[in-house]
A and B are shown apart, each in its own frame.
Chain A
Amino acid sequence: MFSHVVRKLLQSIPVVWGVVTAVFILMAVVPGDPARLMAGQRGDPATIERIRHDLGLDLPLTQQYTKFIGELIRGDLGMSYRNNERVASAIKTRFVATIRLTMWAMLLAVAIGLTTGIISASRPNSAFDYGAMFVAVSGVSAPVFWVGLLLLLVFAYNLNWIPGIGAGNGSWKYLVLPAVTLGVRPAAIIARLTRSCMLEVMSQDYIRTARAKGVKEGVVVIKHALKNAMIPVVTIIGTSVSDLLSGAVLTESIFAWPGLGRLAVEALVNRDFPMIRGVVIVMALTFLVANLIVDISYGFFDPRVRYEGER
C-alpha cells in the first residue's frame, strides 16, 4: 500500500509538470498583456515597456520558461504582478478557506446523498423514493447562483437565522449557507447514483441468499448491498472534488467567501501569470490527491482490489 501511494505520487510529478507547461504556453498564446493591464485603460507605451522589462516579459519565451521552472523547483511561486503579494502566501490563505468550504460541502453531500439513496433504494417506488428523486433531479438542475441567492434571501435576510455573507470571525455560522449551496449538486448526484447502484446490487443472487438465510433486512442493505454498490459512488465522490473546486468560484462570489475561486478569476482577468500558474498547480495537486484517496478507498470496499506489490 505504501509503495503504491509513493508510486502514485511520483507519477503525479509529470502530470503537474504537463499541466504547468500547458498553462504557461496558453498564457503566452492568449492575447492580453499583463503590463498593459497594469497601466489601466490608457497607458503610456514607454511606461508599459518598462513594466514589461521589470516583469521579465521581454525575455524570449524559452528563457522565461526555464526561469519559471527553476524557481518552481526551488519552491518559489513568485510574486503577483497585480499587487506584489507573494503567490504562495496569497494562495495559502485562500486555499484554507476554499478547502474548509469544499470539505463541508462534500461531507454534507455524502451524508445526505448516501442516506437518501439508500432509503430510496430500499423502498423503491414509494412516496419517499419519488419525493427524494424529484428533489435530487431539481438539485442537479438548479444553477449554483440561483440556489445560493435563494438560500440567502430566505435564511439570512427574511428569517434572519444566520449571517449572510463573508467569513466573519471564522464562526461556523458563516459556513452553513455556502456549504449547503455548494453541496446541493453533488448530494443530488450521489443520491441518484447510490439509488441506482443499490437497486442493481439488491437484485443479485447473493442478496437473495442472504435474505433466505434469515439475515435482517437492515444488515442486508448496509453490509451486503451498500458495500458492493460503493465503488461507482466513491468514484463519483472523487471526481466531484474538481466540480466543487470549480463550482466554488460562483459560490464564493455570491457569499463573498475569500477563497481560491475568486482569486483565480481575478488573476485570469488581469493576466496575473504567476498567480494563475500557482492556482493551477494547487488545483491540480488537490485533484490528484483526491483521486489517490479514492483509489486507496477501493481496497476497503472491494477486497478483490489489490495494489501491485501486495499479496
Chain B
Amino acid sequence: MKKGLIVLAVIVVLLVGWQMSRSRSAEETAPPATQAAVTPSETPERTAPEAGAPQYGGVLKWHEVANPPKLDVHMATDTTSARVIYCIFENLVTNSLDGQSIVPALAESWSASEDGLTWTFSLRKGVRFHKETEGGKPTENGGREVMASDWKWTFERMIRDKSPRAYFIDCIAGYEDMLEGRADEWSGIKAVDDYTLEFTLKEPFSPFLSVLAYNSFGVVPKEDIEKWGADFNFHPVGTGPFVFEEWVQDQRVTLKKNPEYWGRDENGNQLPYLDGWELVVIPDGTVAWEEFKKGNIDVMRDVPDNLVTDARSLLGDSMLEAPQPGTYYFGFNMQKEPFKSNKALRHAINYAVDRERINDLVLEGLWTPAKGVLPPSMPGYNPDLKGYSYDPERAKQLLEEAGFKDGFETTLQVNQNVRHRAVAEAVQAQVAELGIKLNVQIVDWGVHLDTLDRGETDMYRMGWVVDYLDPDNFLYVNLHSSNFGAKGNYSFYSNPEADKLMEEGRTETDPAKRIEIYQKAEQLIVDDAPWMFLFYYYNNMATQKWVNGATLPAFGNYTARVDNVWLTER
C-alpha cells in the first residue's frame, strides 16, 4: 500500500512539474496575446485615424471549422485551404465582387483572337514574389519580379507535380503531351516577352478566363518550389498581400503583411491595411459563435443556421448574408430502374416535395427553393424557367401514369452530415404521403463518392457550388454525357440534344448567345428531371463592428478580400 501511494505521489509530482515547466516556458517565449494586436504598424503610409478613413495595423482573426489540409496553391481542393491561399497567392484574373465579370489581377489586360484560340495576357509590372517569409527568413527567390516565364513554369509544374486541378485547363494545346511525359514544355503556353503571356487552345473554350480565376491557378516561384519539393505545402511563397508566417496544425495559420505588395486602394494607399491575418481553427460552430461574441474572433464565416437570428440581432449590418452560387439536389440514377426510363416517376417525385416547408422547418428559412440547375447569382440564371412546385395532386396523377399507383420503395444515399440527414428525413416524410417508401442510407463521404462513381445508388444527395462563375461549370460538368461518374455527372444523365447545346456553349464567343444556349439546355434538363431540384445555397459571414471594409462576394465567403479590410477601436 505504501509503495502504491509512493508511486502515485511520484506520478503527481512529475505531472505537476511537467505542467509547470511547460507553462513557464510558454509564458517566457510567447508574447501576451494582446500585444500582437496593438503593435503599431511600421508602414510609412500610415493613415491618420479619421472617421471613415482606413487605418493601418492590427491582426484580423478569422474562424474556420477545420485545419486547412493544403497550403500549396496547386494541390488544394477544399474551401478552407482556398481561404488561406487567396491571401498568399494570386491569379492572372479574378472574379468581380458581384460575380458577373472577370477583373484584372496579375494580368492588367487580355485579348482573345477572333477564332477564340489564342489568348494574350499583358502582365502587371512590378509584381514581386514574397521576399521574406516565416519570421523574416529570406525566400529562395529573393523577392524578384514575376515574369511571363514564371507563369509558364507554374502551369507546367501543375502537371509535373500532379495537381488534382490541372485538368481544368486541359483545353490548352499540348496538355496531353505534358501529362503523358512526351514533352518537357507545355507547347500551348508561351512567354512572348517578360510581360506578355500567350495561351493557344485546342479549340475555342469560352469559359477559359473564368477558369483562370479559380483558386488553383496562382503563380509560384520556381526557386522556392525547387528548394522545398512536396514540403512547399508547409512553406508557401506567393505574391499575395500576406506572407506566410506560421502554421500550428489543428490550431492556427498566421500570416503577416507583405510590405512590398503591389496593391493600392482608390486613394493610392498601399494595401493591405492589416499587419497580419490569423486563421483560428474551432471545430464546433456553437463554441465558435460564443468565442465570436466574446470578441476573440473578428470574422466568422458560416454561422450555423440555428444561430443566424441571434447573429442578425447582435450584429445588424455587420452580419453579411447572401445566396451562394450552388445548388443542392437529390439525383436519380438514370442507369438503373425504376428511374432510368420513367420520366413521369421523376416528375412525380419533384412535384411531391414542398421545398418551402422543408426550408422553413429544417433550414431556418435561409435557403432558396430551387426550380432548376443554375442558381440566381450565376450568369445565365433564368427567372422564367419552368420548374417544379409543390403539387401533391399532380404528383399522385404522375405516379399513377408512371405505373406506381400504390407507391414503391427506393433508397436515397446521403453522406453523413446533420443538415443532409434532416433534409433527407423531411423529404422521406413528404413522399411517404404518396405511398413512396424512401429508405435513407447514411454513409461517409469516401463511401458516398465511391458508390456514386460506380453508379450503384438509386437516389443520392449531392450539391454543387461552382469552381468558376460560368454556366459551363454547372451544366457541362454535372450533366454532360462525357462526364459520367467521378467527373461530376453522377446521375449518368445523357440527352444528345442537351449535350450538343452544352458543347455549343463552350465554343460560342458571343456572351448573349451563350446565355441563350445555356438557358435552352437547362430547360431541357429540367424537363428530363435527372435530379430532384431542391435548394440554392446560402452563405453568411459575421463580422465584428470594429471590422471595416469587409464584403461578402457573390462567389462565396471563403473568397472574401482581406487586403482592403481595416480595424478600428473596439
Contacts and interface: CB of A to CB of B under 8 A. Distances in A.
Interface of A: 30-33, 36-48, 50-51, 54, 79, 82-85, 90, 93-94, 100, 103-104, 107, 110, 149, 152-153, 156-157, 164-172, 175, 223, 226-227, 230, 253-256, 258-259, 262-263, 266, 269-271, 297, 300-301
B287 A31 contact: no
B162 A300 contact: no
A45 B487 contact: yes
A37 B446 contact: yes
Given A48-B486, A100-B22, 10 more contacts: A32-B445, A93-B249, A157-B294, A164-B291, A168-B33, A171-B26, A256-B282, A256-B287, A259-B250, A262-B250
A103 to B, nearest CB: 6
Interface in B471-490: 477, 483, 485-488
Contacts of A110: 8
Contacts of B280: 166
A114 to B, nearest CB: 10
Given A254-B284, A270-B446, A301-B4, A36 B290 contact: no
Contacts of B249: 85, 90, 93-94, 258
A230 B3 CA distance: 13
A254 B290 CA distance: 12
Contacts of A48: 164, 486
A170 B450 contact: no
Interface in B183-216: none
Nearest to B463: A41
B133 interface: no
B433 interface: no
B281 to A, nearest CB: 6
A51 B179 CA distance: 12
A31 to B, nearest CB: 4
A32 B415 CA distance: 12
A180 B20 CA distance: 18
B5 to A, nearest CB: 9
Interface in B425-455: 444-447, 449-451, 453
A32 B446 contact: yes
A226 B1 CA distance: 9
B446 A31 contact: yes
B291 A170 contact: no
Contacts of A253: 283-284
B1 A169 contact: no
Contacts of A51: 162, 164
B114 interface: no
B465 to A, nearest CB: 9
Nearest to A42: B488
B25 interface: yes
B1 A227 contact: yes
A172 B287 contact: no
A269 B446 contact: yes
Contact of A256 (B19, B251, B451): B251
25 contacts: A30-B447, A39-B164, A40-B77, A41-B488, A42-B487, A43-B164, A44-B164, A46-B167, A51-B164, A107-B12, A107-B15, A110-B8, A149-B286, A153-B290, A157-B290, A164-B291, A170-B23, A170-B26, A171-B23, A172-B20, A172-B23, A256-B281, A258-B250, A266-B67, A300-B7
B70 interface: yes
A227 B8 CA distance: 14
**Of listed A43, A46, A271, residue having the most chain B CB within 10 A:** A43
B428 to A, nearest CB: 24
B231 interface: yes
A51 B486 CA distance: 14
Contacts of A32: 444-447, 449-450
Nearest to A86: B231
A220 B23 CA distance: 40
Nearest to A90: B249
B21 to A, nearest CB: 10
Given A149-B287, A169-B30, A300 B486 contact: no
Contact of A43 (B15, B67, B233, B487): B487
Given A37-B445, A37-B446, A39-B77, A230 B4 contact: yes
Q: Is the interface of A mostly helix, strand, loop or mixed?
A: helix
B69 interface: yes
Contacts of B447: 30-32
B78 interface: yes
Contacts of B69: 82-83, 270
A256 B294 CA distance: 16
Given A31-B450, A46-B179, A258-B248, A152 B444 contact: no
Nearest to B296: A164
B384 interface: no
Contacts of B405: none
Nearest to B487: A42
Interface string B305-317: 0000000000000
A288 to B, nearest CB: 18
Given A43-B486, A44-B167, A50-B162, A104 B15 contact: yes
B510 interface: no
B274 interface: no
B386 interface: no
Nearest to A227: B1
Given A47-B167, A84-B231, A266-B67, A271 B290 contact: no
A42 B490 CA distance: 10
A166 B280 CA distance: 9
Given A46-B179, A107-B12, A36 B233 contact: no
Nearest to B76: A40
A170 B284 contact: no
B230 interface: yes
Nearest to B32: A169
Contacts of A297: 4, 7
B474 to A, nearest CB: 12
B217 to A, nearest CB: 15
A306 B22 CA distance: 39
B220 to A, nearest CB: 16
B74 to A, nearest CB: 12
A171 B27 contact: yes
Interface in B152-169: 162, 164-167
A182 to B, nearest CB: 15
Contact of B162 (A54, A175, A262, A271): A54
Instruction: Pick the 4 closest A-B CB pairs, nearest first.
Output: A32-B446, A170-B26, A40-B77, A258-B250
Contacts of A169: 26-27, 29-30, 33
Contacts of A42: 477, 483, 486-488
